A and B are shown apart, each in its own frame.
Chain A
């Protein structure tokens, strides 16, 4: 690793740490202002989790990681996919229906359901991509609207296909047969979602496609400068649609760890709001697959540790939502500050290199 890359990595870590410290400080100020016990809250939040809690943290982080990846694909091209929330719900519902019908045996059924989920997520996000490419509609607006439509659509379709769970008023899709469920990985007395392996593969694919392929180069180039991308021969319209569809396909995976590892059915109580957390996590992780993993773990950790706050300290766990929100703001500010510092640093280095080559110049002329 060259010195320049080490410096870049160091700056990246420094900016994340800076952002977290600032967020913790602001949260403390909020607690102080409300008259809550600051020390006790942090004491609980920063206590070492037990195995059961760790299991929850890792499981939750798996889901958040996929959400963060989905958002990051868009961010790399300067597209703001706010619609991960709608995309994963449409997709998870589709997967639940397909898997529940069990047209194919065993894991073939699982694979088909996953492919269908990704395809539906891609199509749902693709609508926003096409609107942006052909009509110039801001993807921020269209994906938000598509979230609302997704909520209504899924609720409507659920009624059409739902079966009532025995001894309950809840409705949901047919249970996924046992042979098509994804088994857990043992972790102490508990198990971690087996889907975590698929999430890891998705993370690797994200890195490989973006950094090692021409397609990824085109995508990043378009994100950095649309005008330069056009001049270099990239079709920005095609890239816009492609990037949105890939983002949607990854978003299609978000609900699946829960579906195949825990719930086995898509019902009216299926977890919502995972897409919005993904935005914060992608920002925190700097759209980098490893960074997003850390971001997802941190958010899952805060969520899990905040659960007993009400009972133990008498403070609403919602304080963690404030922390998470503040992190988004401090992250944006601190990354920009560190970026500017990095550019200045580099300009100085270039100037230094230039100054030395200037003094060489007369000799070059002589020879």
Chain B
């Protein structure tokens, strides 16, 4: 790394940052220099340790090792208050705004000491808004604002508190393409005024278009810092992110049969406010086929999965499994007819955190051996089968009697995958099956899915990881605002093209 920059130009310098949680090393020897007046992107897979690192820099958690320097001075951050004092501000992915207050009230809330709550505060809000082109009216109620505007209010909040270093955690996850462009415009204004922006993302196209420097994190450690983003491609970045273990689709022989297993016709789901969450979605999956669904989070993926699983009573349309009509049937009926389900949110939908692993083995499989027979729980059968999963899926645990809560996220995920692959499902609905697991376990989960596919398993795969989608799928559908907007052949599609289709840039092609 040619550190030609004089120290005075460095806004944030992280050296040797390490952080361990029980059973997991979240960060290990992280080194990053963020120059003043630049946008520095930090990219990595889910679970690579980005969020932990930012929590350390924002004072939410102390590092176990390493040093933080801000503007050349070594600091110890015990709380976000310390971080704000040092000029570090953070905009979280989930906004923390009170809907029933005005913009001004939201901004001064908790910072009343700075400029009071009256005319001075208003003048300051207007000044900041004008200086950085945020275009914010201090008197509007937050509930009247759109997502993009709310995000600008969050940024304004941070600037109002005197931040010169602004961290944005996955800021584009909730935005539509035009809003993303606006946000990038705002970030460039901040940069022009000499502020430093740390931009966390796993969307490589966006990173390449806005960042001045890019640091790649993999398995909790910095892999490389790219000082000239123009010199790299998204594919190269992706390889850095996953450690060049990108599966190559071409080597895999197709196992798709001509037998339709899942048929979905005109699946629609209205929402409370009238805007449909899903709009007449139709598709088929054959035996031995993996259908990948690509899309920006929040475009209907979760609703699609839950509708097929029968968890959304409001859903209309036909769902047919192996010729049998499942529409209107209960979730249990659907599971009994051979559907395995790896939910997106393992804590909410996949596990009983305060129950032992063997009871979690039973969850969702209460109606069949080895865990249940004749309506009675077979504890020995469940324990033995849990031991099998622990062994086959390399779940790191002392035994089947520990509580699910005690396992790390990756090991919880491996348990769920193992459970849902049990009982020979004919259809597997997998939402982000490798989210938060380490690279080795990821490869193992992919191998299990491929093996089962060879034996005729049909898979509906939802993933935010485009390389996973391209590597595993036989066909990719892109979902945008609750409808399918394009079909791609993973054999000749690039993450770039998928990415533009996902954001609607490819619409009308």
Do the beta carbons of B364 and A347 come within 8 Å of each other?
A: no
The stretch of A130-138, A140-148, A223-231, A244-252 in contact with B is A223-231
Binary per-residue interface labels of chain A (1-12) against chain B in the complex, 1 for a CB within 8 Å, 0 otherwise? 010110000000
Determine chain A's interface SS by DSSP, over half rule.
Answer: helix
Can you name 24 A-B residue pairings with CB atoms under 8 Å? Answer: A5-B401, A211-B377, A213-B377, A214-B366, A214-B376, A217-B362, A220-B355, A221-B363, A224-B354, A225-B353, A227-B349, A231-B350, A233-B332, A233-B334, A233-B364, A234-B332, A346-B406, A350-B23, A350-B396, A350-B408, A352-B398, A353-B397, A354-B408, A357-B396
Residues of A close to B363: CB separation below 8 A: 221, 228, 232
Interface assignment of B259: CB less than 8 Å from any CB of chain A: no
Binary per-residue interface labels of chain B (312-344) against chain A in the complex, 1 for a CB within 8 Å, 0 otherwise? 000000000000000000111111100001010
Smallest Cβ distance from B99 to chain A, in angstroms?
A: 22
* Known contacts A227-B349, A231-B350, A232-B364, A343 near B405 by CB under 8 Å: yes
Interface assignment of B133: CB less than 8 Å from any CB of chain A: no
Interface assignment of B351: CB less than 8 Å from any CB of chain A: yes
* Known contacts A231-B341, A349-B402, A353-B396, A217 near B377 by CB under 8 Å: yes
Binary per-residue interface labels of chain A (343-367) against chain B in the complex, 1 for a CB within 8 Å, 0 otherwise? 1001111111110010000000000
Smallest Cβ distance from A215 to chain B, in angstroms?
A: 7
Binary per-residue interface labels of chain B (180-199) against chain A in the complex, 1 for a CB within 8 Å, 0 otherwise? 00000000000000000000
Do the beta carbons of A217 and B334 come within 8 Å of each other?
A: no
Do the beta carbons of A351 and B335 come within 8 Å of each other?
A: no
Residues of B close to A4: CB separation below 8 A: 399, 401-402
Smallest Cβ distance from A246 to chain B, in angstroms?
A: 16
Residues of A close to B333: CB separation below 8 A: 233
Q: How many residues of A contact B (CB 8 A)?
A: 34
Residues of B close to A224: CB separation below 8 A: 352-355
Smallest Cβ distance from A76 to chain B, in angstroms?
A: 12
Residues of A close to B402: CB separation below 8 A: 4, 346, 349-350
Residue of B334, B375, B398 most packed against chain A (CB within 10 A): B398
Residues of A close to B94: CB separation below 8 A: none
Give A212 to B333 CA distance when docked, in angstroms.
22
**B residues neighboring A (CB under 8 Å):** 22-23, 309, 311, 330-336, 341, 343, 348-355, 359, 362-367, 372, 375-377, 396-399, 401-403, 405-408
Smallest Cβ distance from B374 to chain A, in angstroms?
A: 9
Interface assignment of A218: CB less than 8 Å from any CB of chain B: yes
Give A225 to B350 CA distance when docked, in angstroms.
10
Give A225 to B343 CA distance when docked, in angstroms.
14
Residues of B close to A349: CB separation below 8 A: 398, 402, 406
**How many residue pairs between the two chains, A and B, have CB atoms under 8 Å in the bound complex?**
111
* Known contacts A4-B402, A215-B375, A350-B396, A228 near B332 by CB under 8 Å: no
Do the beta carbons of B366 and A232 come within 8 Å of each other?
A: yes
Do the beta carbons of A347 and B406 come within 8 Å of each other?
A: yes
Interface assignment of A316: CB less than 8 Å from any CB of chain B: no
Interface assignment of A51: CB less than 8 Å from any CB of chain B: no
Give A231 to B372 CA distance when docked, in angstroms.
18
Interface assignment of A235: CB less than 8 Å from any CB of chain B: yes
Do the beta carbons of A225 and B334 come within 8 Å of each other?
A: no
Give A212 to B380 CA distance when docked, in angstroms.
12
Smallest Cβ distance from A31 to chain B, in angstroms?
A: 38
Do the beta carbons of A354 and B331 come within 8 Å of each other?
A: no
Residues of A close to B350: CB separation below 8 A: 228, 231
Do the beta carbons of B405 and A225 come within 8 Å of each other?
A: no
Give A352 to B365 CA distance when docked, in angstroms.
31
Residue of A218, A228, A351 most packed against chain B (CB within 10 A): A228
Residues of B close to A231: CB separation below 8 A: 309, 311, 331, 341, 343, 349-350, 364
